[in-house]
Amino acid sequence: MDVEIGSNLYRNTNGTIEIEGVPQVQIALKEPTKAVSVNFALFDQNGKMVAKMVDSTLMFNERRAYEVSRTATRLTLTHAESKNVVLQIDVKAADQIVFSKAGFHSIKGHLVEVSSKEWKVDRLQSSGTTQDAQGGAVRIG
């Protein structure tokens, strides 16, 4: 599967996104419908887990602070009170995913931001690159 994160394209991935060396997002397309399925661990700035999503469903949601909306081709996780988008994943084509918008913390407490033009993790950023993951995980940060 190909994954776009901001304006960066990662070809031939297994759907896992490692942030600062830790698998934090896992994206799959469920057969036969190709509906998007997401596993995601959400941390606060101290590295404490505050929410966990399994198969696009919130399994742990401290203080009910987050809401998920989903269709077959889009998943959006938002902060319930502020309505800020924490994570947005779209299906662009049969085997292409777009990680188009995000604002959350890594397990190390660093801010991870994704916009249409780039991704940023703490002081690192990337835009406009193409990489072949050779069947492995996407590594950012």
Map out the domains of the chain as residue ranges.
2-128
Confidence of residue 34 (pLDDT cuts 50, 70, 90): confident
pLDDT, tens digit, for every residue of 54-107? 999 999 998 999 999 999 899 999 999 999 999 999 999 989 999 999 999 999
Instruction: State the average pLDDT over residues 17-33.
Output: 94
Is a pLDDT exceeding 90 seen at residue 51? yes
Distance of CA 69 to the CA centre of its chain: 14
Instruction: State the average pLDDT over residues 99-124.
Output: 96
- Residue 36 has a CB neighbour count (10 Å cut-off) of 20
Is a pLDDT exceeding 90 seen at residue 25? yes
